Chain A
Amino acid sequence: MQGFDASVFLRSLVWLKPELFLALLGFVLLGLSAALPEGKRRYVGLVALIGLAIAAVVVSSYAPGFPLGGPKIAPGTAQGGFPDGAGHPGFLADGFAIVLKLVFLLGAALCVLMAVRFLDVEKAQRGEFYAMVVFAVLGMSILASGNDFVTLYLGLETMALAVYTLVGFLRASRRSTEAALKYFLLGAFASGILLYGMSLVYGATGSYNLEGIAAAIASGTAGPRPLLHVGAVLVLVGMAFKIAAVPFHMWAPDAYEGAPTPVTGFISTAAKAAGFAMLLRIFFRGFWGLAADWTLLLAVLSAASMTFGNVVAVLQDNVKRMLAYSSIGHAGYMLLGLIAVGSSGGDPLTQRYGMTAVVLYLLVYTFANMGAFGTIVLLRRGSVPGDRVEDFRGLAGTYPVAAAAMTVFLLSLAGIPSTAGFIGKWWLFGAAIKADQAWLAVVAVLNSAISLYYYARIVAAMYMTAPEETRPEPAPAGLRAALAISLVFTVWIGIYPQPFIRFAQYALWPIGR
C-alpha cells in the first residue's frame, strides 16, 4: 500500500484530541456506573457534566485566540488528518467541525443537567444513561469531522445506536420501549438506504472520500451519470430521515413523545445538528458539482417540511408531540440556508450568508428547544406525565419564573423580535431571498404565523387559567441551571447577537473549490 506513513498517522492524532477524550470519558462513566452503589448513581451525572465541560475546552483550544496552547486552526482553513491512498484527508479539523462540536456538547450538557432529577422521578437512575449521552456526542464529533463516507457513516451509527438506547431507557414505560423500537427499525432502514446510495456513488466516482468524489465530478471522470444521480438521491433520502424532513419524518412524533423528555430535547437539537453537519459536508464538499440538481430537491423537502410540520402541530394536544411536529417544521426552515448556498451559483457572499444562517440557527434552536423540554421535565412528577397542554394550566401561579421562561422559549421558536429565534430566522429567510428563492421565504413566513397559534395555546394555558391547589415543590438545581442557561442565551442572542454571529461565521469554509 502506497501513501501510508506511520508518522503521518501519529501527527494526525493531534486533531483527534476531543474524540479521544470523549471516548475515555465514556469508559470512565461506564466503570463508575458499575462501581457506585444504587443511591450514588447520580454522581455519575456530575462527572459526565464536568467531563463535557473539559471536552468543550479541548475543542475550543483549536480556536485562534483561545488562551490554551496547542495547534490552532485559522478561520476558513482546514487541517486534515488520516489521508487515504490518494492523499485526501479522512478526518478534517476546521472551524465548522469545532463550532458544531461545541453545539453538540452544549445539547448534551443541558440534557444531563435535566436528566439527573428526571431519572430519579422515573426510578431509572443508572449510570449508563450518562455514558450513552457521551458516546452519542463522540459519534457526532466524528461525524462533524468526517471527510469520507466510511468515517461519516461510522460516526452516524455510533450516535444512532447510543440514541436508540437512550430513547428506550425507561424500561418500565411502554411508550418509551415502543418509541425506541420504531426509531430503531426505521433508523436501520434509513441507514441501509444511505449505505446503498454511498455504494452507488463510490461505484460511479471510484472514491469514497468527499474530496475525491468532488474531483471526479468536477473533472467529468465520474462514471455513468444515472448511477451517480441515483446514489446522490439515496444519500439525500437517508439524510432527510436523520433530520426528520417530510416525507421522511414518520418516526419523529412517536420517538419524541415516547423518549425520556431530556432525551427528546437531545435528539431534537444535538442529533438534528449532527444530521445537518453531515448533510452540509456531503453536499457541499462532495456533491458540489451537482448543486443545481439537488437544490431543487431540497427546496421541495423544505417547503413540505415547513408546511406539514406546522399545520399538523396545530392539531396536537400533547406538548412533546406538538414540539416534534414543530421540530419537523424547523428542519424545513434550516434547509433554507442550504438551499441558499446551493443556488448561489458560486457567489461567495450568498454562500457565506447561507452557511452562517444554518449554523446560527442550530445554536439558537438548541437553547430554545432544550429550554422548552426542560419546562416539561419540571412538570413531570408523581403520576403527572407533564406533557399535555392541560398540565401547563396555571403554571404562571405555581412556577412564575418557569412560566415566563417557557413563554420566552416559545416566542423564540416562533421567531418574535428581541428573542434569539428572530435573529436566526432573519438570517435564514434573508439567505433564501439573497439566493433568489423568495417564494420559499414567503412560505416560511406564513408558516411562522401558523406556528404562533399553537405556541400561544400553551402560553394561554399557563397564564389564562387559575392554578390548581397544589403546593409546588422547589425545582431541582440542575434543572434550574439548565433553564437559566437557555433563558439567558435566548434573550442575549435576541438583543445582542454579534458575538454569536461571529461564532457562527467561524464555521465557514471555502465551498466548491
Chain B
Amino acid sequence: MEAQFLMFLALAAVALAASVMVITRRNLVHSALYLIVTFFAVAAIYVLLHAEFLGVVQLLVYAGGIMVLFLFVILLVERPGTGPAGKPMRWHAAASGVLTLLVAAILGAHFLRSGMAPPGGTAVLGASGGNLETVSLALFRNYLLPFEVVSVLLLVALVGAIVLARPRA
C-alpha cells in the first residue's frame, strides 16, 4: 500500500510537471512532446488502479492516434516557434488561473463530501480476473454484435476516405 502510494505521488508529480511544461513552452512541437509524457504518466496511474484496459487504451488512442493528429495539425497550420504573445496572453493566464482554481474547488468539495472509495474495491476486481478480463469478456460476449458492426463501420470509413482522397483520374 505504501509503495503504491509513493508510486502514485511520483507519477502524479510527473504528470503535473509535464502539463505545466505543455502550456509554458513556446515551441508547439515541444508542447506536444510534453503532452505525451503526461499521457504516459496518466496511463501508468490507471494501471496502478487496476484499470489496465483503460491504461492501454489511453496509450493507444491518446499517445498514439490523437498525438499524431496533433503533430500533423501543428506542422500544417503553424510554423513551430511562433505563437501569440503580449497583452492578450496575460488576460488569458489570469482567466485560466481563476478557472483552474474554480474547477479544483468544485472537484475537491465533491471528493471531500463523497468520501474515499471503500478499500478493497480494486481487490474485488482482481478476484474476478481483473479489469482487462472483465472488459474483454463483456466485449466478446454481450457486445459481440456491436463489435462486429464496428468492423464494418471502420471498413466503410476506410473505403470512404480512400474514395474521397485519392487523386482524380
24 A-B pairs with CB atoms under 8 Å apart are: A1-B134, A1-B138, A1-B141, A4-B142, A30-B159, A82-B145, A84-B142, A90-B145, A91-B145, A128-B159, A128-B163, A132-B163, A135-B155, A139-B156, A150-B146, A151-B145, A151-B149, A154-B153, A161-B153, A164-B160, A165-B163, A169-B163, A171-B164, A171-B168
Ordered nearest first, which 10 A-B pairs have the shortest CB separation?
A165-B160, A4-B141, A154-B149, A150-B146, A158-B153, A82-B145, A1-B137, A135-B156, A161-B156, A128-B163
Complex interface residues of chain B between 126 and 169 (CB less than 8 A to chain A): 134, 137-138, 141-146, 149-150, 152-153, 155-157, 159-160, 163-164, 168
Chain B residues whose C-beta falls within 8 Å of the C-beta of A4 in the assembled complex: 141-142
A452 in the interface (beta carbon within 8 A): no
By a CB distance below 8 angstroms, the chain A residues around B134 are 1
Contact flags (1/0) for A167-195 with B, using CB distance below 8 Å?
01101100000001000000000000000
Give the distance to chain B from A250, nearest Cβ to Cβ, in Å.
22
Give residues in A with beta carbon < 8 Å to B.
1, 3-4, 9, 16, 23, 26, 30, 82-85, 90-91, 126, 128, 131-132, 135, 138-139, 142, 150-151, 154-155, 157-158, 161-162, 164-165, 168-169, 171-172, 180
A155 near B159: Cβ-Cβ < 8 Å = no
* Cβ-closest chain A residue relative to B157: A161
Binding site for A on B (CB under 8 A): 134, 137-138, 141-146, 149-150, 152-153, 155-157, 159-160, 163-164, 168
A210 to B73, CA, bound (A): 40
Additional 15 contacts, C-beta under 8 A, given A139-B156, A151-B149, A169-B163: A4-B142, A16-B145, A126-B163, A131-B159, A132-B163, A135-B156, A138-B152, A154-B146, A154-B149, A158-B152, A162-B156, A162-B160, A171-B164, A171-B168, A172-B168
B137 vs chain A, min Cβ distance (A): 5
**In the complex the two chains form, what is the Cα distance from A290 to B159 in whole Å?**
41
User: Which residues of B sit under 8 angstroms from A1, Cβ to Cβ?
Assistant: 134, 137-138, 141-142
List of B residues within 8 angstroms of A161 by Cβ: 153, 156-157, 160
Complex Cα–Cα for A315 and B155 (A): 41
**With A85-B142, A90-B145: A154-B163 Cβ-Cβ less than 8 Å:** no
> Which residues on the B side are within 8 Å of A169 (C-beta)?
163
In angstroms, Cα B146 to Cα A9, docked, is 13
Expressed in whole angstroms, the Cα–Cα distance for A40 and B157 within the complex equals 25
| Complex: chain A residue closest to B138, CB-CB | A1
- CB contacts (< 8 Å) of B149 on chain A: these are 142, 151, 154-155, 158
Q: How far is the CB of B66 from chain A (nearest CB, A)?
A: 16
**Complex contact B164–A180 (CB within 8 A):** yes
Expressed in whole angstroms, the Cα–Cα distance for A496 and B144 within the complex equals: 45
C-alpha gap A155/B146 in the complex (Å): 9
The docked-state distance in angstroms from the alpha carbon of A168 to that of B165 is 10
Residues of B within 8 A of A138 (CB): 152
CA distance in complex: A508, B17 (Å)? 60
CB distance from B73 to the nearest CB of A (A): 16
A154 with B150: CB separation less than 8 A: yes
A177 to chain B, nearest CB (A): 8
CB distance from A146 to the nearest CB of B (A): 9
Q: Which residue of chain B lies nearest to A150 when distances are taken between CB atoms in the complex?
A: B146
Q: Which residue of B lies closest to A4 (CB)?
A: B141
Q: Which residue of A lies closest to B128 (CB)?
A: A1
Q: Say yes or no: B141 contacts A132, CB within 8 Å.
A: no
Q: Would you give the shortest CB distance from A181 to chain B, in whole angstroms?
A: 10
Q: How far is the CB of A6 from chain B (nearest CB, A)?
A: 8
Q: What's the Cα separation between A4 and B144 when bound, in Å?
A: 11
Residue ID in chain A nearest B161 by CB atoms: A165
Q: Output the least CB separation between B114 and chain A (Å).
A: 15
Chain B residues closer than 8 Å to A142, beta-carbon distance: 149
Please measure, in the bound complex, the distance between the C-alpha atom of A54 and the C-alpha atom of B149, giving whole angstroms: 21
Once bound together, how far apart are the Cα atoms of A26 and B160, in whole Å?
A: 13
Q: How far is the CB of B155 from chain A (nearest CB, A)?
A: 8
A60 to chain B, nearest CB (A): 23
Closest partner residue, chain B, to A158 (CB atom): B153
Instruction: Return chain A residues, CB-CB under 8 Å to B145.
Output: 16, 82, 90-91, 151
What is the CB-to-nearest-CB distance from A440 to chain B, in angstroms, rounded to a whole number? 37
| Among A16, A150, A172: residue with most chain B CB under 10 A | A150
Chain A hits for B138, CB < 8 A: 1
Closest B residue by C-beta to A168: B164
**Distance between B134 CB and nearest chain A CB, rounded to angstroms:** 8
Query: When A1-B137, A4-B141, A161-B160 are in contact, do A151 and B146 touch as well, CB less than 8 Å?
Result: yes
- Are A9 and B156 closer than 8 Å at their CB atoms? no
CA distance A85 to B157 in the complex (A): 30
Q: When the two chains form their complex, are residues B144 and A82 in contact, meaning their CB atoms are under 8 A apart? A: yes
Q: How far is the CB of B112 from chain A (nearest CB, A)?
A: 21
How far is it, in angstroms, between the C-alpha of A83 and the C-alpha of B142 when the chains are bound? 7
Would you call B156 and A158 a contact (CB within 8 A)? yes
In the complex, which residues of chain A have a beta carbon less than 8 angstroms from the beta carbon of B157?
161
Contacts of A128 in B (CB 8 A): 159, 163
Q: Which residue of A lies closest to B150 (CB)?
A: A154
Residues of A within 8 A of B164 (CB): 165, 168, 171, 180
**In the complex, what residues of B have CB within 8 A of residue A165's CB?**
156, 159-160, 163-164
Q: Indicate the member of B146, B159, B164 with the most A CB atoms within 10 Å.
A: B146
Q: Which residue of A lies closest to B168 (CB)?
A: A171
User: In the complex, what distance in Å separates the CA atom of A209 from the CA atom of B152?
Assistant: 22
Point out the residues of chain A lying under 8 angstroms from B141, CB to CB: 1, 4
Select from chain B the residue with minimum beta-carbon distance to A167. Answer: B164
Taking CB atoms, residues of chain B closer than 8 Å to A83 are 142
